[in-house]
Amino acid sequence: MRHPNVFALLAGSVFLLAACQDSSQASVTRAIDSVTAIDQQNLAELMLVAGDPEEAVDYFSSQLESQPDHLGNMRGLARSLVRSGRVAEALPVWRRVTLHPEAEQDDRVMLADAYIRANNWAEAEKTLNAIPPTHETFDRYRLEAMIADSKQQWSRSDHFYETAAGLTTRPAGVFNNWGFSKLTRGNPREAEQLFTQALQHDPDLFTAKNNLALARAGQGNYSLPLVRMTQQERAQLLYTMAIAAIRKGDTNVGRTLLQDAIETHPQHYEEAVRALRAIEGGGHG
């Protein structure tokens, strides 16, 4: 008489076990999916910062073929195209990113950055002007400073460079650009101070070392700056100061600096040799 109850209990147990198995399988599937998503995100980030730019372009292009509206892959493709120097191709992708319903203000900043790289300053300014002033980021002010420079709006330029420098833990590039701005305005003394600040934050930034040599030469100071440098960099800085001296009419100083550059360089320094031959062949004294 109790068999039906036993069968009912057994049946219930089987269904319960099946339900548990289904639930467990679903959990495993979700876990695998989440790990796969994390792996894809990590791969995408790795492609952006460490991978070969052309490989990154291929990767994000293939991802977009299967997910054409995936915002992260659009951004990845746009950034990779910029990294590989294909700015003309990056622009329409950045524009597409900014039209995405989930686009952010930073995407518009990056579109402005691409316009500047493409030497389209008017569109860059237009793009930045459309971003609310409450969006205060390092990249935004870095670009605002460059646009102000292009229009010779020096007070605005100084304001934006100073603001940008305060919004990053790695301001070497900002100080270098700001110094170059001062150099183009004919203010080598202030430029020298800014290049020195850049090198305090990044002692290996060669463009800042080279610009520092230019700033010192612009003041008639042809001694090498006291910064960390390799033998090859030392020769290159001597060459930079030599050319600056020659352009200022200090030909004898330039000749001496070129000779020092040739002797200092660990290999044959063709540019310096040609410049020295040009001076001696021209009979400058």
- Distance set, CA 60 to CA 5, 50, 72, 73 (Å): 61, 14, 9, 6
The candidate with the shortest Cα–Cα distance to 262, out of 251, 252, 274, is: 274
Instruction: Provide the pLDDT for residue 18.
Output: 41
Query: Kind and range of the H or E element at 200?
Result: helix 188-201
Helix axis angle for 206-218 and 172-184, nearest 10°, is 30
Instruction: Provide the pLDDT for residue 15.
Output: 40
Which residue's structure tokens are 């039209």?
Answer: 99
Tokens found for residue 277:
């031959």
> What are the boundaries of each domain within the chain?
230-285
Environment class of residue 26 by beta-carbon count within 10 Å: exposed (0-12), middle (13-18) or buried (19+)? exposed
DSSP state of 226: S
Q: How many residues are present in the chain?
A: 285
pLDDT in tens, 6-27: 333 333 433 433 444 455 555 5
Helix axis angle for 154-165 and 138-150, nearest 10°, is 160
Rounded-to-integer distance, Cα 148 and Cα 141, Å: 10
Q: In a structure prediction context, what are the per-residue pLDDT tens digits for the chain, which is 285 residues long?
A: 444 443 333 334 334 334 444 555 555 455 444 544 445 556 666 666 656 788 888 888 888 888 888 898 899 899 999 999 999 999 999 999 999 999 999 999 999 999 999 999 999 999 999 999 999 999 999 999 999 999 999 999 999 999 999 999 999 999 999 999 999 999 999 999 999 999 999 999 999 999 999 999 999 999 998 899 999 999 999 999 999 999 888 899 999 999 999 999 988 888 889 988 888 875 444
Q: Give 5's contacts (C-beta < 8 A, 6+ positions apart).
A: none
